[in-house]
Structure 1
Amino acid sequence: MSIVLEVRGDYIQLDQLLKTTGLCHSGGFAHAEIEAGRVTVDGVVESRKRAKLRPGQSVGYAGEVVELVAEHAT
């Protein structure tokens, strides 16, 4: 399944994205999942909790894919 997320501003941090989409229930849980290597950005495991993600990128976690788009682009 794919989730489309509008990015307000230039970027969203990876931990914030996981919370905003509801894929992780808290920031602490998001950090643990990122540290455990369970999150990918553009198909590559991402270990930076506060990685800056921009429109055009995609995040994979728990069988879900989040596609980032610019605000008002949907």
Structure 2
Amino acid sequence: MQTFSLKGDYIQLIQLLKALNWVEHGAMAQMVVQEGMVKYNGEVDLRKRLKVRVGDIVEFDGQKIKIT
């Protein structure tokens, strides 16, 4: 499992997907979240503006990352 060092209190889920280069652009990030392709702490979450914080785990397309 990879890690992502958070700078600040949180990062929005769609911003995280872009920062990790898991998607090409914001519209694609919104689409994969809306289609239920992203898991947040083991469960599908459809909130695009979800605040991801330290200790959370995000999964997408066979990749998994822990926020540190």
TM-score by length of 1: 0.89
SS at match of 1:37: coil
Larger Rg: 1
Moved over 3 A (4+): none
What is the percentage of aligned positions where both structures have the same residue? 35
**What code does the residue aligned with 2:27 have?**
G
Match of 1:64 in 2: 63
Give deviations 1:39-71, integer Å, cap 9, x for gaps.
Answer: 0000000100010010000000000001100xx
In 1, the alpha carbon distance for the partners of 2:32 and 2:43 equals: 14
Q: Compute the displacement of 1:14 (Å).
A: 0.1
TM-score by length of 2: 0.97
* Corresponding pairs, count: 68
In 1, the alpha carbon distance for the partners of 2:2 and 2:19 equals: 11
